Chain A
């Protein structure tokens, strides 16, 4: 599928720039051009498809659907699935959270959306697909969706509504299932298409630098970190390696575009794939800036329960991946 990108990279590096195909610099640059081009194309296509899905099934429609249908527990899975396919800027997480609870969606179902939305995102999927292949990508995406589903269900069972901030509790009490209180300008699919295209272009443009930095760091680590370096410390399957990787990742706030090339090197140098996926999930799925934003709608105790539950589940999935992969 991507042979033509390899042909392009070979032509650019070995014919136009005229580097020796046997030299370290030549192979490294060839690898860099091939990987970057492939990932950018994948990212554009994935964001574009997600944009189309979102144009047909906007979050408001999901909210109404969840509100009106009796789904016998499937609502957690549907909410989590939507979290995975909705390409939102992370700053929208709080308005989306409010919109859900305001619309009468149970807190647990709302959590399913909130957990999966950053955890399974279009950038990470494109990077995974480009760097680890379809099998690892499917494992990552499916486990992220399941993590959101089960995490939301468990948090729902705890009955944590009393730990929301007062103004959110008032909104919940006066739940509004009716339409918005302003008129929305209707748009046909054809009218929405340029914005979807622009969004995909903007996302690719926005992460380009991170991808270049990530792949650059990855390429440098490939060359300078000794083979089996990580295997010596993290790769021998000690029980504490997964929790350590996750606990170290939570305070980190990095774009998936930069983190995936680095974890690819970790894996190449001996870190088990499960530990590496758990590390990435904790980096993109939980962050201190997100916690700060959530402070507007949740008490500190609820944020701690939410972060604690998701952290525990990421650790658990790390162990499961290491057993399965």
Chain B
């Protein structure tokens, strides 16, 4: 099971990124452990400097951009 961490805040871009992740996971019935964190200390631990950022299976795949469904599928499958 892949672990997906979304680093985000309460802004429109971060909320959209979260919606897309949920949609892809549901549409493709993916077995994913998902976590969204707004905690700056956790971001500092992972040295995340842009929001939203998405960490998939330990790799920082998206930095400061909203992923598309197609891109997410490629990394989550």
> B66 an interface residue at 8 Å Cβ cutoff?
yes
**Known contacts being A90-B11, A91-B10, A91-B11, is A181 close to B49, with CB within 8 Å?**
no
When the two chains form their complex, are residues A184 and B50 in contact, meaning their CB atoms are under 8 A apart?
no
When the two chains form their complex, are residues B11 and A184 in contact, meaning their CB atoms are under 8 A apart?
no
When the two chains form their complex, are residues B68 and A88 in contact, meaning their CB atoms are under 8 A apart?
no
Query: Dominant SS at the A interface?
Result: helix
Closest Cβ–Cβ distance, residue B2 to chain A (whole Å): 14
CB neighbours (8 Å) of B61 from chain A are 185
CB neighbours (8 Å) of A167 from chain B are 41
Within 8 A of A (CB), among B1-55: 7-14, 40-41, 43-51, 55
CB neighbours (8 Å) of B63 from chain A are 184
Which of the 9-residue segments A128-136, A147-155, A198-206, A209-217 touches chain B?
A198-206
> A5 an interface residue at 8 Å Cβ cutoff?
no
Interface size in chain A (residues, C-beta < 8 A): 30
When the two chains form their complex, are residues B65 and A182 in contact, meaning their CB atoms are under 8 A apart?
no
Q: Which residues of B contact A (CB under 8 A)?
A: 7-14, 40-41, 43-51, 55, 58-61, 63-66, 68
Query: Can you sample 5 A-B contacts with CB below 8 Å?
Result: A91-B13, A95-B51, A99-B48, A180-B47, A198-B66
Known: A182-B46, A184-B59, A297-B40. 13 other contacts (CB 8 A): A89-B51, A91-B14, A95-B48, A95-B50, A98-B40, A98-B43, A98-B44, A99-B44, A99-B47, A171-B44, A181-B46, A185-B61, A198-B66
Q: Which residues of A contact B (CB under 8 A)?
A: 59-60, 88-92, 94-96, 98-99, 102, 167, 171, 176, 180-185, 195, 198-199, 202, 206, 293, 296-297
